[in-house]
Structure 1
Amino acid sequence: MSGHILIVDDEVGIRELLSEILTDEGYDVHLAENAEEARGFRAQRRPDLVLLDIWMPDTDGVTLLKEWASNGQLTMPVVMMSGHGTIDTAVEATKLGATDFLEKPVALAKLIDTVNKAIKRGVTPPRRAPGMDLSALGRSPQILELKKRLTQVGGNTAPVLLSGEHGSGFEICAHFLHQPASPWIEIKDRARLLSEPLSFASTLGNGTLYLSDVSELARLEQKGLALLLDRIEGNGARLVCSSSRSLDALVGTGEFDSRLFYRLSSVVIQIPPLREHREDVPDIANFMLTQLVETGVCPLRRLATPALNQLRNFDWPGNLPQLSNVVRTLALTTLTSEIDGTDVNRVLAPMKQQAPAVAHGIPLDTPLRVARDAFERMYFEYLIQKEGGSMTRVADRAGLERTHLYRKLKQLNIRHGRRLDENL
C-alpha cells in the first residue's frame, strides 16, 4: 500500500510500534507526540490518514478533531485511538467526522484492516472541503450573540425571517437552524410557487424549507408561498426565509402581502454585515484560504499579518462573497507562498477607487438630481411604512397637499396602494 499517515500519540512506545508496522506495510509515516506538533504538520500538508489518540496532555484528540472540522482542515480520514475508550466517546468522534475508532492495545490485523479501509475511502472520492458554517463566521460579540439567538429559537418550528444585507450569511444561519438527519429543501425554482406550490411539501417531512430573498417574490408567488405555509404548519417542518429589504416597507407600499408578512415575521433575526464584525475577517479569510488549499485549487498559501490587517480594515460592501472572491484571487495570483500586504493592496486598490462615497445609503458621487431623488424615495418610503400606508397622515407629516404627494410618489415610482398610472 502507499499513502502518508500521521500518527498522533503522546506515548513514544505506541508511536514507534505503529510506525514500524505501517512502514512495513508500505506507508510513509510521520509522528507527532502532541496536538501542537499535529497542528504544525497539518498546516504544512494534508496526510492521507491520521491516527489520533484521544487522551493527550496538551489538547485531547476530540478537541483537535473539532478544530480541524471548524477550520476546514478535516478533509482526510481520521481514526481515533484510546486505551480508555467508551461508546460515548466513539459516537461523539464519529459525529464530528472521525472515520473509525480503535481501542488500545490495537490488534495487528485490526490495525492494518482499519488503516487500509480508511485510506481507500479517503482517496476514492474527489477531495471536497466542508462548507462554511456558523463557527467559521468568527468569535466576535456580534456573532456569539447571533449564535445564541439562533440556538434559542432552534427548538421550535415557527417560521424564521433572517434580515440583513446580501452576502451576510443567510444560508449559513439557515443551515444552523436545520435539524440534522432531516430533509433540507431550498426553493430555487420560484416559478413552482405559481404552478405547483404544494409540491415542495411532498418530500419535506419534518425538515427545513429555505427561501432566499423572499422580498423578491411577486404577489402571485407570495400567494403560493402562503398556501405552502398552510400545508407544512403543524407537521414538524420549518420555513426559513431571508430578506435583504425591509418587508415592513414593502407592505406599506403594497408590494408585499401584509398577512404573509406577519406570518413570516413571527421570529425575525438580524444578521450583521461583515463590516460590523470586522475583527472576524482574518479568521474567515484564513478559513476560505484553507479550503482552497485543501481542495487543490491553489498550492500552499499563507496570509501574513499585514495582509490580514488590510483585509480587516476594508469595508466589504459585498460581504462574504466579495471576501471569498478576493481570497481566491490572492491565492491564485500571488507569486510566493506568503500573501503579504502588497498583494492585498494590489487586489483591493481598484475596489477602493470604484467604491462611491455614501451617506445614509445614498451615493454622493452622482448628480444632485439623482441624489435628491434617492433621498426623497427613502424619505417617503419611511413615512408610508411609519403611517401604515395612510396617505392622509403621510401628507400631513410631509407638509404637502395630498394631490402634490401623489404626483411626487408617481415621479419617484413609489407604489402606495393606488395605480401609478392613474390620472392625477
Structure 2
Amino acid sequence: MANILVVDDELGIRDLLSEILNDEGHSVDLAENATQARAARAGTRYDLVLLDIWMPDTDGVSLLKEWATAGLLTMPVIMMSGHATIDTAVEATRIGAFSFLEKPITLQKLLKAVEQGLARNVAHPVAAVQPPAAEPATNPGYAPLPAMSAVLTGADAGPHSHQDFDLNRPLREARDDFEKAYFEFHLKREGGSMTRVAEKTGLERTHLYRKLRQLGVDLGRKRG
C-alpha cells in the first residue's frame, strides 16, 4: 500500500481518483489547491503525488518548482491537465515531474502511470503494487476458456473440478454456479480489487457490483 496525494481543484476528479486508488489498496489524501497541498506535504512523506497543472491559487508547475527548490521533491510527481501545451509538459519534466497525464484520464493510463511511478520510487518501494505488473505478461488479454480452467483448478473458493458442476439441471442454475466461481477466481487473483476485476472481465463497475450481489458473492470480504 502506498501513500498518495491527489491535488486537483475539481471535486469530481478528486473523488474519482480517490475511489480508484483506494480500491487499489492505497491510502489517499486530497487537496483542492496548492495551499492544502503544501500543508499535506509538510506533514506526510508521500510515495506519489498526482498534481493538476491549472489551479486557482498557484499552478501545479509553480508548486512543483517550489518543492524542487526546497528539496521536497522526494517522491514521483505525475502532472495532470486537460489544456496544457507541450512546452508546459516539457517544463514540468525538466523541473522533476515523473510523467504527464492528459485529461480525461483513462483507467488504464492512470493505473499504469501510478504503477510505474511507484516502481521508480527507490527510497520507498511499494511491494503491494509490484505483483500486478507482471500479470499482463503471463496472462495477456481476456480468454474465457483458459479462465474457466483456472477456476476449476486454482481457486480456493468455488469448484475444484468438473465433477463439482452438476450439468444435469437447468442451464440458468448451472450458469450461475459457473459465473460465481469465475468471479471469485478473478477477485482472488486480483487481490480483491474491483477496479481490476471490472477491467479484466470487461464489465462496467456498477454492472459488476450488481452481478456479484445477484450471485451471492461476499463483497465485504473480497474487497478487503
**2:86 counterpart of 1:72:** no
The whole-number CA distance in structure 2 between the counterparts of 1:63 and 1:11 is: 18
The whole-number CA distance in structure 2 between the counterparts of 1:105 and 1:69 is 27
Which residue does the alignment assign to 1:413? Answer: none
Cα distance in 2 for residues equivalent to 1:31 and 1:45: 12
Deviations 1:19-50 (A, max 9, x none): 00111011100000000000001111111000
Output the amino acid matched with 1:13: G
Work out the CA distance in 2 between the residues paired with 1:109 and 1:126.
23
Which deviations, in whole Å up to 9, do the C-alpha atoms of 1:356-391 show, x marking residues without a partner?
Answer: xxxxxxxxxxxxxxxxxxxxxxxxxxxxxxxxxxxx
1:106-255 alignment to 2 at 5 Å?
106-122=105-121, 124-125=122-123
The answer (yes or no) to whether the contact 2:7–2:50 under 8 Å persists in 1 is: yes
Structure 1: distance between partners of 2:71 and 2:92: 16
Larger RCO (alpha carbons 8 Å, 6+ apart): 2
Counterparts of 1:39 and 1:65, CA distance in 2: 10
How far did 1:125 drift?
4.7
User: Is the radius of gyration larger for structure 1 or structure 2?
Assistant: 1
Does residue 37 in structure 1 map to residue 39 in structure 2? no
Instruction: Provide the C-alpha distance between the structure 2 equivalents of 1:24 and 1:15, rounded to a whole number of angstroms.
Output: 14
User: SS state of the match for residue 46, structure 1?
Assistant: coil
Q: Structure 1 length as normaliser, TM-score?
A: 0.29
Instruction: Give the Cα–Cα distance (whole angstroms) in 2 for the partners of residues 125 and 56 of structure 1.
Output: 29
Contact kept in structure 1, 2:8 and 2:51, CA below 8 Å? yes
Distance 1:43 1:25 in 2: 25
Regions of 4+ moved over 2 Å: 124-127
Q: Distance in 2 between matches of 1:106 and 1:30?
A: 19
Tell me which residue corresponds to 2:92.
93
Q: Give the match for residue 10 of structure 1.
A: 9
Alpha-carbon deviations, 1:150-184, whole Å to 9, x = none? xxxxxxxxxxxxxxxxxxxxxxxxxxxxxxxxxxx
Question: Unaligned regions of 5+ residues in structure 1, if any?
Answer: 128-424
Q: Distance in 1 between matches of 2:28 and 2:119?
A: 17
Q: Secondary structure at the match of 1:7?
A: strand
One-letter code of the match for 2:16?
Answer: L
2:60 corresponds to: 61
Q: Does 1:28 align with 2:30?
A: no
* Distance change (3 Å), C-alpha of 1:126 and 1:49: closer
Deviation at 1:86, TM superposition (A): 1.6
Alignment coverage as a number of residue pairs: 125
Per-residue CA deviation, residues 392-419 of structure 1 (Å, 9 max, x unaligned), is: xxxxxxxxxxxxxxxxxxxxxxxxxxxx
Counterpart-to-counterpart distance in 1, 2:123 and 2:68: 18
SS of 2:15 mapped into structure 1: helix
1:126 is displaced (CA, Å) by: 7.1
Cα deviation, 1:312-368, whole Å, max 9, x if unaligned, reads xxxxxxxxxxxxxxxxxxxxxxxxxxxxxxxxxxxxxxxxxxxxxxxxxxxxxxxxx
Q: Secondary structure at the match of 1:76?
A: coil
Q: Determine the C-alpha separation between the residues in 2 that align with 1:32 and 1:100.
A: 20
Counterpart code for 1:38? A
